[in-house]
Structure 1
Amino acid sequence: MTTQALSPWLRLLSAAERFDRGPYFIAIRRGLALSLPLIMVAALALLLRNPPTPGMRHLLLEAFGPRLDAVCASVLAGTIGIGALVALFGFADVLAQLHNQRAGHRLVNPTVAAVVVVSCFFTLVAPGADGSLMASLSLGQGLFGALVVASLGGTLFLKLCRIRRLRIPSHHASNDLLVGDVLTVVPAGMLTIGTFAVLKACMAWAGWPQLMTAFDTLLAAPYSDVANSLLFGLGYETVAQVLWLFGIHGPNALYAVHQHILEPATQANAAAVAGGGQPQFIFTYHFFAVFARMGGSGGTLSLMMALLMSRRTQRGRKMALVVMLPALFNVNEPLLFGLPLVLNPVYAIPFLITPLVQILIAYAATMADLMPKTSYPVAWTTPALFSGYAATGSVSGAVVQLVGLVVGAAIYLPFVRMADVLSARRSQDVLASLLQIAESAEVSLKGKRCLDLPGDEGRMAVALASDLEDAIKKEGQIFLEFQPQVDCATGRVFGAEALLRWQHPVLGRVAPPIVVALADDIGKIDQLGLRILSLACQQRAAWRGVLPDDFVIAVNLSPRQLLDCKLYRNVLDILHREGLLPTQLELEITESTMLLPDINAIGNLKQLREAGVKVALDDFGMGHTSLHYLRELPLDTVKIDRSLADVSAGSVNEHIVRSIASLSRTLNLSTVVEGVETEQQLKRLSALGCDRFQGYFFSRPLAPSVCQQFVLEADLRAFAPAL
């Protein structure tokens, strides 16, 4: 047997997925996301301080006064000025959370881990208390060092915490749980910080500051005619992009190149044009700003276009709309750190390639005399197309920009789609994990099954809970499907169970157990239950005159609904509004939700049954109180749990089902067996005295129109012999 080799694209997708799901990349994404509110405020401050035109600058100063720059500077210092520190804290916190999840218990307090890592950062990276301190805290200059320290320091601290000899036993720590949580890992924290102190001393001994100064001196060496070399242009932009990819502000790190090559070339071109001559240099500061950094480093305006073009998920389009305004003015920090692009393996290739291709397009247009050289000063916040015209003095500059944007979007688009696929896979994995939790009987100490979960599951639950609140109020997302219930003795479909469905606009179908658990967590289970009941009755009313009058709709009730003193009135009001007979509705209660029958719940059921509404006990046979319920509850139907549908000869299930069927006949109760999937199961269950069934052997849950057709065809076959 031969296996077809994976295509290069699939291999790339697989490799990107492995990196993307690694704990360090997860921690980086969440750490950077923590700084996103700061970045958005900083983007606005940058635009206010650096408007595209002198006229806008004048208007802003007239509107806000001369203190505008000081206010913007303060905002920048308090946002992206401390962005590296915020990302460092978030990275360490998430890394500790992931470590605890893998260990299966709370090994380390994540906040303590973050505090230790912050201390390591200031011990190693931050210089003395002088003007350069803030640079090491900013996103542009300090992020890479912060993430390196967080990775090394966090890993070392977590490994030391696993050594039992370095942990202070909890009974020796403190009666205060929080204080004890901290004291337990004090030895590991001290060793971690001490290690970075030693590393700092070693770096000083090795002359690390002198090495960095020598590197800057090398960059500052004079070059002749290098500003016309294509190799220089590509090399400079490649280095700048690589630095940005690791969270280092590329143009700032290469400021010596700007000072000794790009700025002189820019001034020489401007002087030549002013004197009536021809500009000499191709690669100037404005060339890179106008043709290679549209939207910011990485040609991110092209990425924004690709995000808007991608239709697989809404997340990318929402991100593009959020960052559109700053990106139009070449402020791309929201994309760099919010998407993020920094240290993102999925976008690494287009982030590096796109500006290089755009440089080649602009270089070719210049060499072919299709576009003049950049010779006129423009503000770096000038939007694309306008900046191309302004920097070259020609419409051809805007045309070249437009071509570069389109080509850049084409480069980014397949990687945007790859990111969509990876995001969808992550979401489905988290949803599968949430489903297991929602279907389990375990709840947290606070009684919330999903919202108190740690990690991705907890974040997904919180996001879904917010969306669910809106979905309950709106039309369209919450709807029902119906699974027919068949009477094999007559061949007729006597009823259908209404089953909840939620079509999430981004994630698609969300499993009903998750929906119910979330609604219960946020206290909206009553509203959801009434919505389901109302939709079911509306559909039954729509079938009036089409399906037989004795066709019954079965609807599940939650425990909280049963305890609601208004349940009886609400049900009768809905029936009256839809013009339905009470006998056309059956309310199902689950045995597991009635472990201690409440007097109010039983009272509600009795009142409803006296009014004519049928009552069914769902999942019967799975609990130890089954027989007790038969005596206490006003029932019409017993639904035998699907776990008992597999009745092999002589099995325990066979004896249980036979006993339930016999007891139900004695008590004059109808029985319905759930989960029948094969003809063999049907034959054995029928031999045990069961004649009413529900399951995939007969039909999956169906849309209303399909269910109607199924019922009509089944009834036609049932009455055909009589005709």
Structure 2
Amino acid sequence: MSRLMDSMENTLMPIAGKISGNRYLNAIRDGFTLALPLIIIGAMFLLVANIPIEGYGEFMAGIFGASWADFFNTVFNATMNLMTIFVIWGIANSLAGYYEVDGLSAAAVTFAAFLVITPISVFEDANYIPFEWMGAKGLFVAILTAILAVEIFRFIVKKGWTIKMPEGVPPSVSRSFSALIPAFIILVVFSLIRLGFAYTSYETVHGFIFTVLQQPLTVVSKGLPASLVANLFISLFWVFGIHGAQIVGAVMSPIWVQLSAENLAAYDAGASLPNIVTQQFQEIYLQLGGSGCTLALCIAMLLFARSQQVKQLGRLAILPGLFNINEPITFGLPIVLNPIMMIPFILTPMVLSVVCYFAINLGFVPRPSGVIIPWTTPPIIGGFLIAGIRGALLQVVSIVISFFIYFPFFRIVDNQYYKQEQEFENEGAQGATTTF
């Protein structure tokens, strides 16, 4: 077992180091972090406007009038339906910070470049940019735009091809003139890109990316195999003390969020929901207590531990565990570099992936509504918010399954600690007798 652990560590650590140190993945993660509060707020407003209780809409209309839902839908349209704007701004600012160039200017120019390549629609002689490309459907183009635009911006600034103002000019004015040449070149480049795609069958960059890249990736990632692989690596990284959710999430979150947005759009339209694997599927059903679904382990430690050390750790870990934070157990039991506990830690989320996927696929539980709720939402509440009472019951079933997977391994570790405590007490008693 020790040789296996060493081999896995030697294989995974370099991979994790490269992923966690990748400036583009880090910038993408920061972009979604910036947008996440607004996405959550927009989704919650939409949920309030569409609570799945019979007669709810008529009841609200009777009190506030027929257009009562507009109050909530306006916030949804200004947040969830415009998520690409916030994401592209966050990515550009983060990547510019890595290169130590002006993040505000780089983000503003990047957003302008994105608008240049975004198709304009015409309705009754008026031009407008449709929400279609400002929401989840435009995310991939936004990500690629941010990376390319900031790389050009950085290259020009580092070469010194900027307008330098004399000393005494206010910094804000100087910064504006410094960005003038980079902005001009970037917008020319993106105008040429737009023009080039206009002569292809795809017509726009968005059409090309969505057809060739985004759609195939989304199709592959929405299935059970992708969920199993993602959760396998999340757990493997954690076993070696690396934040697996952040590492894997940097790659998968853009796709999971898009799948959630597709469900949310269908939910809003009253249509059938297309996806099972979404951001909510991952965070609400497969991370009960945190990565590895360790809430059941907390319960076992609290109720069945013989060792005082494990029982005390269970008392300390149960409250964070209810909010899906499990570092006290991960590093305290520990699970990290523990050849016994790594087995259920890896196995549990993969078993739950299969159970939850088929429970939803067979119609026992509704598909996730697409409402993005905080990952710290406690179990039962989280399941209810995304899938009603059956979603809450699925979480209960998942906790029970997790408990039975963890319990035999927990008992082994607990007995080890218990024997150590007994030996320590016996040694202490013998020492006291000898001294007397």
TM-score, L = length of structure 1 = 0.36
1:70–1:161 distance in 2 versus 1, CA, 3 Å: same
In 2: Cα distance, 1:196 partner to 1:315 partner: 51
Contact 2:202 2:208 in 1 (8 A): yes
Q: CA deviation at 1:300?
A: 3.0
Partner Cα distance (1:237, 1:54) in 2: 34
1-structure distance, mates of 2:318, 2:131: 33
* Correspondences of 1:100-499 after superposition (within 5 Å): 100=100, 108-128=101-121, 133-138=130-135, 140-164=136-160, 166-171=161-166, 175-209=169-203, 234=224, 245-246=254-255, 249-250=258-259, 296-298=280-282, 300-306=284-290, 309=295, 321=323, 357-358=354-355, 361-362=358-359, 373-374=362-363, 380=369, 384=383, 402-404=396-398
Q: From the superposition, tell whether residues 170 and 404 of structure 1 become closer, same or farther in structure 2 (CA, over 3 Å).
A: same
**2:88 maps to which residue?**
88
- Displacement of 1:403 after TM fit? 4.2
* Residues 1:174 and 1:43: Cα distance change in structure 2 (over 3 Å): same
Structure 2 counterpart of 1:250, one-letter code: L
Paired position in structure 1 for 2:337: none
- Is contact 2:368–2:387 with CA below 8 Å preserved after alignment? no
CA distance 1:215–1:353, shift in 2 (3 Å): farther
Q: Is the 8 A contact 1:144 1:248 kept in 2?
A: no
| Structure 1 Cα separation of the partners of residues 107 and 255 of structure 2 | 21
Q: How far apart in 1 are the matches of 2:355 and 2:203? A: 36
Q: Assess if the C-alpha contact under 8 Å between 1:299 and 1:355 holds in 2.
A: no
Compared CA separation, residues 31 and 377, structure 1 to 2 (3 A): closer
What secondary structure is seen at the aligned counterpart in 2 of 1:54?
coil
Report the CA distance between 1:199 and its aligned residue: 0.9
Residues 141 and 249, structure 1, Cα contact 8 Å, conserved in 2: yes
Paired amino acid for 2:285: L
Task: Tell me, in whole angstroms, the C-alpha distance in 1 between the residues paired with 2:183 and 2:30.
Answer: 23
RMSD over aligned CA atoms reads 5.2
Cα distance between partner residues in 1 of 2:392 and 2:174? 64
Structure 1: gaps of 5 or more residues: 101-107, 220-231, 267-284, 324-348, 367-372, 392-396, 412-723
> Between Structure 1 and Structure 2, which shows a larger proportion of strand residues?
1
State the 1:388 CA deviation.
8.6
TM superposition shift of 1:248:
5.7
Residues 117, 153 of structure 1: 8 Å contact kept = yes
Cα deviation for residue 123 of structure 1 reads: 1.0
In 1: Cα distance, 2:31 partner to 2:283 partner = 24
Q: What amino acid is the match of 2:183? A: G
Structure 1 residues 24 and 208 mapped into 2: Cα distance closer, same or farther (>3 Å)? Answer: same
Report the Cα distance in structure 2 between the residues aligned to 1:29 and 1:409, rounded to whole angstroms: 32
Q: Which amino acid aligns with 2:107?
A: A
Q: Counterpart in 1 of 2:7?
A: 7
Q: Write the deviation string for residues 41-63 of structure 1: whole angstroms up to 9, x where unpaired.
A: 21320220221322544554455
Per the TM alignment, residue 407 of structure 1 is displaced from its structure 2 partner at its CA by 6.1
Amino acid at match of 2:259: G
Asked if the contact 1:24/1:151 (under 8 Å) is kept, the reply is yes
Structure 1 segment 549-568 matched on structure 2, within 5 A: none
Deviations 1:559-608 (A, max 9, x none): xxxxxxxxxxxxxxxxxxxxxxxxxxxxxxxxxxxxxxxxxxxxxxxxxx
The one-letter amino acid paired with 1:168 is I
Residues in 2 aligned to 1:315 and 1:94: alpha-carbon distance in whole angstroms: 34
Find the aligned partners of 2:163 and 2:403 in 1 and give their Cα distance: 56
Shift of 1:15: 2.4
Are the counterparts in 2 of residues 378 and 390 from structure 1 also a CA contact under 8 Å?
A: no
Secondary structure at the aligned position of 1:208 is classed as coil
Matched to 1:142, the amino acid is G
2:146 maps to amino acid = A
Q: What is the CA–CA distance in structure 1 between the aligned matches of 2:386 and 2:397, rounded to whole Å?
A: 14
Which residue in the other structure is 1:79 paired with? Answer: 79
Cα deviation for residue 154 of structure 1 reads 0.8
Relative to 1, partners in 2 of residues 1:120 and 1:177: Cα closer, same or farther, differing over 3 Å?
A: same
Find the structure with the greater CA-based Rg.
1
SS of 1:35's equivalent in the other structure is helix
Shift of 1:315: 13
By how many angstroms is 1:156 displaced? 1.4
Deviation, structure 1 residue 29 = 3.0
User: Quick one: structure 1 residues 59 and 87, their matched pair in 2 at CA, closer, same or farther if it must change by over 3 Å?
Assistant: same
Higher RCO by CA contacts (8 Å cutoff, separation 6 or greater): 2
How much has 1:144 moved relative to structure 2? Answer: 2.5
Amino acid at match of 1:249: Q
- Kept in 2, the 8 Å contact 1:143–1:247? The answer is no
Q: CA deviation at 1:4?
A: 11
Q: Deviation digits for residues 507-543 of structure 1, max 9, x if unmatched?
A: xxxxxxxxxxxxxxxxxxxxxxxxxxxxxxxxxxxxx
Give, in whole Å, the separation in 2 of the partners of 1:201 and 1:400. 51
The answer to whether the Cα contact below 8 Å between 1:49 and 1:69 also exists between their aligned partners in 2 is yes
Shift of 1:75: 0.5
Check the 8 A contact 2:285/2:356 in 1, yes or no. Answer: no
- Equivalent-residue separation in structure 1 for 2:319 and 2:13 (angstroms): 21
Q: CA deviation at 1:126?
A: 4.8
Q: Which residue of structure 2 aligns with residue 496 of structure 1?
A: none
What percentage of residue pairs aligned between the two structures are identical? 18
Change (3 A) 1:319 1:169: farther
Does structure 1 retain, via aligned residues, the 8 Å contact 2:286–2:352? no
Shift of 1:116: 0.9
Deviation track 1:70-127 (CA, whole Å, cap 9, x = no partner) reads 1111001112222211221122122222211xxxxxxx32211111111111112354
> Are 2:27 and 1:27 aligned?
yes
Q: Partner of 1:47 in structure 2?
A: 47
What TM-score do the two structures reach when normalised by structure 2? Answer: 0.55
Aligned residues: 315
Distance change (3 Å), C-alpha of 1:355 and 1:212: farther
Q: Contact 2:382/2:392 (CA < 8 Å) preserved in 1?
A: no
SS of 2:290's partner is helix
Q: Secondary structure at the match of 2:184?
A: helix
- The alpha-carbon deviation at position 145 of structure 1 amounts to 2.0
Task: Give 1:190 deviation, angstroms.
Answer: 1.0
CA distance in structure 2 between the partners assigned to 1:194 and 1:111 by the alignment: 20
Q: Which amino acid aligns with 1:300?
A: I
C-alpha distance 160-47 of structure 1, shift in aligned 2 (>3 A): same
SS in 2 for 1:96: helix
Alignment partners' CA distance in 2, 1:117 and 1:388: 38
Distance 1:300 1:151 in 2: 31
**Which whole-Å deviations, capped at 9, do the CAs of 1:280-329 have from their partners, x for residues lacking one?**
xxxxx59x65xx56x824353332532684889x9998798499xxxxxx
Counterpart-to-counterpart distance in 1, 2:354 and 2:367 = 22
Name the residue aligned to 1:482: none
2-structure distance, mates of 1:60, 1:51: 11
Distance 1:385 1:127, change over 3 A: same
Q: Structure 1 115/353 Cα, relative in aligned 2: closer, same or farther at 3 Å?
A: farther
1:10, 1:408 → 2: CA distance? 29
Partner of 1:67: 67
Aligned-partner residue type, residue 153 of structure 1: A
